[in-house]
Structure 1
Amino acid sequence: MHSHLHTPYNVNCEEIMTALDECHARGFFYKAVGNCNDIKRQVNKCLAAERFERAKRNRDEARGKRQRIEDIWAREREMERPAVNTGTENAGSAKQ
């Protein structure tokens, strides 16, 4: 079994998928001799393009989230780092 094609993710391919459904509705023999093959290729091409765009958006979003996490970790490391004693802090108290 294949997944459902008519989903919100594939809205841009709806017209082509409907044409394929109509072609398949003409009957088994019509499909068997290859009359729906061109439409099927168009559906596959459209779905692949939609999947590519969705994957690209997901990757970009994941990169953004990862960058925010990296920034938070960097700030936490800065806060956890002990203060470096440069010697100027005690210089005033040594003169007294």
Structure 2
Amino acid sequence: MLERYGRYLWPETELWVTEDQLWQRFCRQVALPMLASRGVLKETLKAGQRLGIFALGQLADEKADRNQRDSYIGLFLKEEMPYNVPPPGPALAGHARGAIPPFA
């Protein structure tokens, strides 16, 4: 989906994007496909995270620097998110294009 709709979903100028921003884009931009529910978006985000397309994380504080790994309660890339981690929500941030330093 990123290959086909990336410029509408996640412009190159944005290092991170929240789930809420993505949902609003799907709801408002006619160039994007209609999703049956927000749950579809959440499942798609989790699938992309497991494939290593981007990382998912929950910010510890909304004012935290989103480009710093320590700003997240958890940051997951290519791994199953534990059940005790809150599901993706408005505070979720996805990173790609090297915005977060690589995992050791």
> Is the shorter-chain TM-score for this pair beyond 0.5, marking a shared fold?
no
* The structure with more helix, counted as a fraction of residues: 1
Query: What TM-score comes out, normalization by structure 2 length?
Result: 0.22
Query: What TM-score comes out, normalization by structure 1 length?
Result: 0.23
Larger Rg: 1
